[in-house]
Amino acid sequence: MTSSTVAQLLKQTTLQEVEVKGWVRTFRANRFIALNDGSTINNIQCVVDFENTDETLLKRITTGAAVHIKGDLIESQGQGQNVEIAVTSIEILGDSDADSYPIQPKKHSFEFLRDNAHLRTRTNTFSAVMRLRSSLSFAIHKYFNENGFYYMHTPIITGSDAEGAGEMFRVSTLDQKNPPLTETGEIDHSQNFFGKDTNLTVSGQLEAETYAMSLGKVYTFGPTFRAENSNTSRHLSEFWMIEPEVAFMDLAGNMDLAEDFMKSVISYVLEHNMDDLAFLDKRLTDEEKTKPQAQRSELSLIEKLKFVTENNFKRVSYTEAIDILRNSKPNKKKKFNYLINEWGADLQSEHERFLVEKHFKCPVILFDYPANIKAFYMRLNEDGKTVRAMDILFPGIGEIVGGSQREERLEVLKEKMAVLDIPEEELWWYLDLRKYGTAVHSGFGLGFERLVMFATGMSNIRDVIPYPRTPQNAEF
Ligand code: ATP
Ligand code: MN
């Protein structure tokens, strides 16, 4: 007989002999094992005939132990489950020292669990989060696959430091204590591994653009790295990004794509991950109860997800948004940390969240930002001062997507690079796209962990990636 998963057994209606392997969550009254194997948030109850079980064996059934159970699947005698297993044999596959095992059957703080990230998926919350993370990745690939996109792998080590999205991590094999120097005393990168200075990528966009201009519709989904010292609950030094890029698509098309895509992947988990979502929904509701009334969210997790799938995203220009913010209560009462005085101000997360959570109360797409607060490659508008950029703002998260229509005019792009001191030699291949069959094209970047935060209701980005990398922290 082969082992079944807990998920299979809980759904099974034929009552028969079964086998299952998993980890003991709890063992009550020398009789009831709550067993979990990661296949579902739910445990299966295994009832031990303790009178006929060896006492030393009973002592080894401890929280965290790995066990192999054989028994009969029967209708449950107790409440809370339809079926349970009347155990006929139990084998301890791996003992767990009950006293030192960090994951005790009680509530642990997320900080404590971060220090034990190698074991935290043995809790309900983290196993649910990581199953959702997996499911969302699948939904993303499925969406693009069904919509005619090719999946492209962009390089992780990059030779251009002009990607313009933030500080980078250097990749080098030079002797750090005694690097070779040029005549002028600079580090001689011609002797470095790649014969030049290289970094970990901050985005796959520029390379994705090259493929969009031949394959039409492409996307990347890979790790990106930013060496910025932003110790916030929404920033990681290593995170995963989804970046579609589409030829012949303008900014309006880009917004349509992003909205349809976000709705589709969220619908997917609403359809396929309800057990986990129901658990996380309750967890969030309990957490909200500990907050002062004014800070509580009006919607539960599942309501928030449905709210996104069922409502149109509000499209608002940067200029309109500035007007709203300038005249807003927190601005007038000087409650914002950064007050909005004039057109041209960069929006901080407090402003984004005000727009989404207080003013519009729905996901918002802001577009047509001032050129000088956005990246060099964004398409300049006819007004000469704004670019065809768009950011999607989500409740509780702030910016979740950043995208734009790309500058397709060679001369305009060159001028922009000159102003920003980006050498043309550095991006000759990027400029080539504008020389040979240039065309309107657009794309966006979605920070995967921000999506997982939204879908799980977790408030710290460190809790939605298995092993978070943040300043001063690269354990595991
Ligand atoms: P932010 O203003 O929040 O720092 P950004 O403007 O630097 O974001 P982009 O360069 O546009 O972001 O990157 C695209 C997307 O990647 C963002 O919308 C966000 O979802 C995500 N993202 C950016 N930086 C990080 C980070 N350090 N950790 C996790 N996700 C990030
Ligand atoms: Mn940033």
Ligand nearest to the CA of 239: 1
For the chain, state the CA radius of gyration: 27
Whole-number average pLDDT of the chain = 95
Buried b (16+ CB within 10 A) or exposed e, 132-160: bbebbbebbeebbeeeebeebebeeebeb
**CA-450 nearest atom, ligand 1:** 20
Q: If phi over 0 gives left and psi between -120 and 50 gives alpha, with beta otherwise, what is residue 437?
A: left
Dist CA 359 CA 122 (whole Å)? 40
Nearest CA to ligand 1 atom 29: 235
What is the pLDDT, as a whole number, of residue 160?
Answer: 80
pLDDT digits (tens, 9 = 90+) for 371-392: 999 999 999 999 999 999 999 9
Nearest CA to ligand 1 atom 24: 235
Distance 226 CA to ligand 1 centre (A): 9
**CA-202 nearest atom, ligand 1:** 10
pLDDT digits (tens, 9 = 90+) for 245-288: 999 999 999 999 999 999 999 999 999 999 999 999 999 999 99
Ligand nearest to the CA of 446: 1
Distance 431 CA to ligand 2 centre (A): 25
Pocket test for ligand 1, best of 167, 233, 235 (most atoms within 8 A of CB): 235
- Give the pLDDT band (50/70/90) at residue 229: confident
Distance 399 CA to ligand 1 centre (A): 7
Rounded percentage of the chain residues whose pLDDT exceeds 90: 91
Distance 396 CA to ligand 1 centre (A): 15
Nearest CA to ligand 1 atom 28: 235
Nearest CA to ligand 1 atom 4: 235
Distance 232 CA to ligand 1 centre (A): 12
Contact 390, 396 (CB under 8 A): no
Provide the residue count of the chain: 476
pLDDT exceeds cutoff 90 at 166? no
Beta-bridge mates of residue 311? none
Max intra-chain CA distance, the chain: 85
What is the pLDDT, as a whole number, of residue 164?
Answer: 65
What is the pLDDT, as a whole number, of residue 388?
Answer: 98
Distance 203 CA to ligand 2 centre (A): 12
Mean pLDDT to the nearest integer, 30-50: 97
Distance 447 CA to ligand 1 centre (A): 6
How many other β-carbons are positioned within 10 Å of the β-carbon of residue 45?
20
Ligand nearest to the CA of 373: 1
Dist CA 385 CA 400 (whole Å)? 24
Name the nearest CA neighbour of 347 among 314, 393, 306: 393
Dist CA 27 CA 458 (whole Å)? 29
Ligand nearest to the CA of 402: 1
What is the pLDDT, as a whole number, of residue 115?
Answer: 96
pLDDT exceeds cutoff 80 at 161? no
What is the pLDDT, as a whole number, of residue 163?
Answer: 63
pLDDT exceeds cutoff 90 at 162? no
What is the pLDDT, as a whole number, of residue 1?
Answer: 72
- Give the pLDDT band (50/70/90) at residue 308: very high
Distance 321 CA to ligand 1 centre (A): 20
What is the pLDDT, as a whole number, of residue 455?
Answer: 98
Distance 38 CA to ligand 1 centre (A): 31
What is the pLDDT, as a whole number, of residue 45?
Answer: 97
How many other β-carbons are positioned within 10 Å of the β-carbon of residue 183?
6
- Give the pLDDT band (50/70/90) at residue 293: confident
- Give the pLDDT band (50/70/90) at residue 80: confident
Mean pLDDT to the nearest integer, 146-151: 98
With a Cβ cut-off of 6 Å, ligand 1 is lined by 165-166, 226, 235-236, 239, 241, 399-402, 445-447, 449-450
What is the pLDDT, as a whole number, of residue 298?
Answer: 81
Mean pLDDT to the nearest integer, 238-251: 98
Nearest CA to ligand 1 atom 22: 447
Distance 393 CA to ligand 2 centre (A): 14
64, burial (CB in 10 Å: exposed 0-12, middle 13-18, buried 19+):
buried
- Give the pLDDT band (50/70/90) at residue 305: very high
Helix (H) or strand (E) holding 233: none
Name the DSSP letter for residue 470: B
How many other β-carbons are positioned within 10 Å of the β-carbon of residue 161?
15
Nearest CA to ligand 1 atom 10: 165
What is the pLDDT, as a whole number, of residue 165?
Answer: 63
Nearest CA to ligand 1 atom 18: 401
What is the pLDDT, as a whole number, of residue 108?
Answer: 95
**CA-166 nearest atom, ligand 1:** 7
